[in-house]
Amino acid sequence: MTVPKLKRDVEGGVEVAVLVSPGFGAGWASWNENTKETLLFHEDLVKLVLEGKREAVAALAEEICGDDYLYTGGAADLEVYWVPEGSRFIINEYDGSESLSLESRFSWSVA
């Protein structure tokens, strides 16, 4: 399934909205590996967060994903991060607190 993404034009390119749950106690995409891409990017979920309607996010995520078990505990803390289109990133998680790290911000070593 191709996940519809919310994008915006900015000077120098296009950015894609990514949902991240920085609150402790529950991850959002990091605790739902099978539905990770949908939970990170789906434009309808992003729009709800941008509109401040976080109470509706969990129900819509369950509807979109159609998963028997979808952990939505991180929905209340969701924030939208804007990432340059095509950028590689990872979601780090510690005790449910997620953070986003762009590949371009690291100085990688190569063996």
pLDDT of residue 49: 97
pLDDT of residue 33: 87
Interatomic CA distance for residues 23 and 27, integer angstroms = 8
Query: How many CB atoms within 10 Å of residue 76?
Result: 15
Q: What is the DSSP letter of 68?
A: S
Residue 2 belongs to a domain: no
Residue 1 belongs to a domain: no
Enclosing domain of residue 60: 7-103
pLDDT of residue 65: 92
Q: What is the mean pLDDT of each run of 10 residues along the chain (111 residues)?
A: 93 96 88 92 98 94 85 92 94 90 81 80
Provide the domain count of the chain. 1
Q: Considering the entire predicted model, what is its pTM?
A: 0.90
Residue 56 belongs to a domain: yes
pLDDT of residue 103: 87
Residue 99 belongs to a domain: yes
pLDDT of residue 73: 87
Residue 81 belongs to a domain: yes
- Specify burial of residue 5 (Cβ count, 10 A radius: 0-12, 13-18, 19+): middle
Residue 13 belongs to a domain: yes
